[in-house]
Amino acid sequence: MVGGQSLTGLRIGSPFLLRSVDPPPSELLERRLETVERLGKRIVFGFAGDLYAVLHLMVAGRLRLKEKGSKIPGRVGLAAFDFESGSLILTEASKKKRASLYLVRGRAGLADHDRGGIDPLSCGEEAFISALTRENRTLKRGLTDPRIFSGIGNAYSDEILFAAKLPPTRLTSKLSPEELASLHHHTVTILEHWRDRMREEVGDGFPDKVTAFRKDFNVHGRYREPCRVCGKPVQRIRYAENEVNYCAECQCGGKLLADRGLSRLLKKDWPRSLDELETKRAGG
């Protein structure tokens, strides 16, 4: 949409967005946008003169293509990238403004933002398994660690583990060769499926309706809704400001995984299975 055009203005609407000092925003002006790349979960805009803008949208950040010079929204607006034919407006619908923008010089500066994870879609099964099992950690953490894999987020890791029928808390060292091969297969299948779906939906337009919660997901964002396979309610584990969504029946043989907060609070009253949970909810 704006590729090949010159940046005519960079308006920063929030003092918390820009996290770098050099180069200054003014140095990008009148430079042509030559490339748009992905670096993990970051979007990298490459400008003439070997300058780069590295944007991390976090969970609630969005880019929308508007008419040139469009106003930055007051409450959620963070910045505007003005090009010859329109403006990319950056918003973040969250009270905690976590989106970040770094301006860097050269590929060496860009490398500082690379967390080192390999691309799960192109690395191959052997490299995937080697990276996953290098350290002993839970599957959820292993899939979402940017130092291991590039770009697998919270939502798609839930969907991958559901498809592979594996508990999110299973340790990587406890997986059989068959389970590791299955996990690689489902990782590629899930990521390619949703990548192609989103490309099809956007077509020649601009992807301004990106969301981490899609109605066709099997478990992510579907807490207490019936599993599409077994009909049992989808469960979740909350940790920090994130959560894991899973099906206790399909992935854990009916066993409930301990929620770090609630299970400690309830102790012996914490239900260990779906049957116990349903009995407690029924007042039994």
Tell me the pLDDT tens digit for each residue of 74-116. Answer: 889 999 999 999 999 999 988 888 999 999 999 999 999 999 9
pLDDT top residue among 58 and 273: 58
Residue 2 lies in a domain: no
Residue 32 lies in a domain: yes
pLDDT value, residue 203: 79
pLDDT value, residue 240: 61
- Token pair belonging to 206: 């601009």
pLDDT value, residue 275: 55
pLDDT value, residue 209: 67
Same domain, 86 and 170: no
278: pLDDT strictly greater than 60 = no
Same domain, 100 and 131: no
Pick from 111, 146, 173: which residue ends a domain?
111
pTM, two decimals, is: 0.84
pLDDT value, residue 274: 61
How far apart CA 181 and CA 175 sit, in angstroms, is: 10
Report how many domains make up the chain.
2
Residue 50 lies in a domain: yes
pLDDT value, residue 40: 87
Same domain, 184 and 284: yes
Tell me the pLDDT tens digit for each residue of 157-211. Answer: 999 999 999 999 999 999 999 999 999 999 999 999 998 988 888 777 777 666 6
Same domain, 200 and 258: yes
Residues 6+ apart with CB under 8 A from 238: 259, 260, 261
pLDDT value, residue 202: 77
Same domain, 101 and 133: no
Residue 262 lies in a domain: yes
Domain that holds residue 23: 7-111
Burial class (CB in 10 A: 0-12, 13-18, 19+), 231: exposed
Summary mean pLDDT of the chain? 88
Same domain, 106 and 154: no
How far apart CA 284 and CA 270 sit, in angstroms, is: 14
144: pLDDT strictly greater than 90 = yes
Same domain, 126 and 81: no
Residue 95's CATH number: 3.20.190.10
Tell me the pLDDT tens digit for each residue of 212-271. Answer: 678 899 999 999 999 999 999 999 988 766 789 999 999 999 998 876 554 443 344 445
Q: What is the bridge-based pairing of β-strands 77-83 and 7-12?
A: antiparallel
